Every structure is written in structure tokens, then in C-alpha cells.
Structure 1
Amino acid sequence: MVYRKISDDLKECVLWLLEAGYSTEEVCDLLGVSRHSLFRWKANQEDYNSVKPPYNPLQGRPRILNADQTHDLLTMLQEAPEMYLDEIQDWIAVTQDTGISRTAIHTLIHDSGLTYKILRRAASERDEDARREFMEMVRKTFIASMIVTADESSKDECTIFRKRGRAPRGQRAQIDADFVRGDRYSILAAITVHGYIGTRIISGSVDGDEFSTLLSTILCGPHCYYLASY
């Protein structure tokens, strides 16, 4: 008999016909089902009160990596998120003594909720303990109105255009943009919870000494009464 998908309604109809007095052969010939399937549905009905057994979470092909190996892999990816699939494949072969395809690795990582995205760089010299101590000192010592934040930005003819766009599949998205930098300006601003307390715009770039000088000018300028009031 050719394999085919049999709905639960048809299986229940088979059992109803048996209860109605039809013989096994008659039901099999009438509905085109096998005796083996008929007896299996009947056993399921008696054991589980349903023609279909309950879902078995262990059914299907087992994963190549067990739970502990998967945990080790995800822990490694937290420490080294930049690794390529072939590098991960080599790592698994060496540390777990297991062969696994790159497709299976991709599926495992995807099912774990990890996605492939642009990396954000963080300074390797940073000290997490010192950062926590500094944040705790700030929390205990300062209030929001006492804090002034400052930063520097720059603008030239190459910076003002959007980085992403749309185009038909298989074609590049293109936009006309200036490749000549032109005049470059640096913008320095300081801000508190009450708003900007000073800004400076100069031609060219800003180095560390100029940044300190401009910052001192801003904080000691006519708007410094904001700081003295709080």
C-alpha cells in the first residue's frame, strides 16, 4: 500500500465503523487503510483515549552536540563573538572531539537565539573592577545636576549622506556623494540636565590640548553660574 497522510478524522471514522459492526477487512477495503494501521489506531485509542499518541519531545534525530557541549560553545562565543563558522568547526573538533558541519553549527547557533551583527569595539585595556568602583563613587557622591558631559564631533562634505538604501535584488544601491572632503569643522559642546551650557565650532580638527582649552573656556564662561547654583 502506498504511504499517504491520513487525517485524525479518518482514523476516528475507522474506529467508529468497527464499533458499528463492520469487519476489519470491510473497513480496510472501504477506506483503503492497512490492518496494521487500524490496529495501531485502536491501541492508541485504548491507551491514550485518542487515535494519535501524545507528543514525544525526544522524537526526531538527536543533536550532534549534547547540552554540556552546546553550553561550552555558547560560552566560547560570548568571549569570542568574531569567530567564523570554519573556526568554530575547528574549535569543536579540538575541544569536543566531535565532527560537525558548518550548516549544523549555523542552525545550532541560530536556534540558541544568537544573530550575526556588526561588532561594537570595546577597549581591551579597560578594567571592569575600576569601572564598577567609579560608578559606585559617582552614585554615592554626585547628583544629576552636578554632572557636565562634553564631546567633540566633526563635519565635512563626506559625512552628510545616508549609509543605507534600497535597490532591486542583484543590483547595488547607489547615491551621488562627494569624495572631496572640503572644509572640515569640529564642534565641541557641553551639556547638563538643564541644557547646553556652551558650544564651540572651529575649523579643522581638535587635539587633546585644544579640547582641554575649549572645555575650560566653556566651563568658566558666562554660563558657569548654572554649576554654581547647584
Structure 2
Amino acid sequence: MVFVKHDHETRVRAIVMAKLGWDEDLIVDALGVSKDSVRRWVDRHDWTGGMFELDYSNCGSRQKLAAVLRELDDLRKEDPTLYLDEYINWVVLTRGILVSSSTMSATLERLGLRLKQLRKQASQRNEPLHALWWADVTRMYAANQLVFIDECGVNNGNLERKRGRGLPGERVVVSTPYAPLGDRFSAIAAMTIDGYEALRLVQESVDGDVFYDFVEHEVLPAMNPFPMAKSVLVLDNASVHKPDELRELVEDHGMLVLSKVESAHGLHQTVGNDPL
């Protein structure tokens, strides 16, 4: 066993934090000490009637935290999913201010921050390009011609944070890569302005074969030849949406396939074999 000698200030700080009601795990993370050391120092302090003269002058207050409000907001903007104890650890480690959970919570509320449901978007998403693409789509097609297909899924291994802090009226969004974990359950749906045209649930990830079968047997029977209503199939850039066989299947039925592409200015190149 390795014994580490901690200085007087660290011991006092650990006892003060324990007296303020900090969780042992937070004290350990903030000061780099062991749980046994914290318990031993607190027990010795209580048994001796105060082996250390505890200094609470560096304990957090709303007035002291007011000096770091902008930095706390910068932390929130960098990562809105931070837990309350992570804000507390940052204040302890970077500013040396001991602060309770209730004080930190009140400080974040003072910034106007509230816990909200987290909204995720693909890290690959390009908002300006998407806007250009959508402007072209709405200019070239009527709304009732479009049939949108996409899939979503969940898995029992997901441990991602579900909530984050944001200002009133502000969506809390984080960029996250796609990383499936555990057993996956997926839903594929085709939707028009009139609602769902087809829906399939599968206990697996959606691969090219599953997607092709869904389009062939459930989506195409609900569509019409171009340029009638429900005659343009809109897909995103997922790899399972790109096989040439899928495009040929749709075009053989007299419909068009519209895919999101790298350049919105090349939209006409993505629609069947006929330039628009």
C-alpha cells in the first residue's frame, strides 16, 4: 500500500467540504485524496473536538461566484450536458472556492439556466448546405410530391446524457457521432404531408437489405409515377440509402429518387437520369 502525505491545507479543505455536506466522491475527485483519508481526518477532528481550526472564509457564496458567472456560462456553452458536481469541481480546482450543491444550483438559475431535454444532431450535419439543398427542393417540387424516408433507433447500452442546461427559449443541442451499443431496435418510416404512408419496426440495425425490402414492399405500393402526388422519394446520405439497385428499383416504377448530396448546387444530378 502506498501512503501519501497530504499538507495541512488539503486536510482542512477536505474536512470543511465534508462538513458542508459534499459527497465523498466529489471530495476525492476535487482534492485527489482517498475516501479513507477523508473519513479518518473527519473522525479525528470530531473526536478531538476540533484538531484543526476550520477556515470557512473560502467557502462559496453567491457573491464570490458572481465573479465567475461569465466563465460558468462559457462552460455551459462548451458543454451543456455538464452535471452540477462538474461545475462545482471546476470552481474548486480553478478558483479554490468551496461551494455547496444548493449554492451552485442557485447560481446557475441566476444565469437563467434551466435543465432541458437534450436534442442531438449528427456531427456531420452542415446547416448552411442543408438550407441551400432544401431551398432547391421546395423550388422544384410540390409538397404533395415528396415522400420522406428515414430511420431511427435506440439500444439498451445507451448511457448518453439526456438533459442539459440552456436559457429560456433556447434549444440545448450537442453534436454527437453515431455509435451503436448493445441490442438495437429500429423504426423505418415513410412520411408525406398527409402523414405516415408506411412504418416498420425491426429488432436490429437497418442495413441495406432491410431498407431495400421496406422500400420495395411497403413504400413503392403507396407511391405514384412522377409527376403525380407521392412520386418523389427523398433520402438522406446514409450509406444504406445509396445502392444503385435501390435507385433502379424506384425508377423502374416510374418514380424519382432525391438524395442529399455534397453540393446543393448539384441537385439536378441526383434525380434519376433526367436533368431538371
TM over 0.5: no
Greater percentage in strand: 2
Q: Greater RCO between the two (CA within 8 Å, min separation 6)?
A: 2
Question: What TM bracket, shorter-length normalisation?
Answer: 0.3 to 0.5
User: Larger Rg: 1 or 2?
Assistant: 1
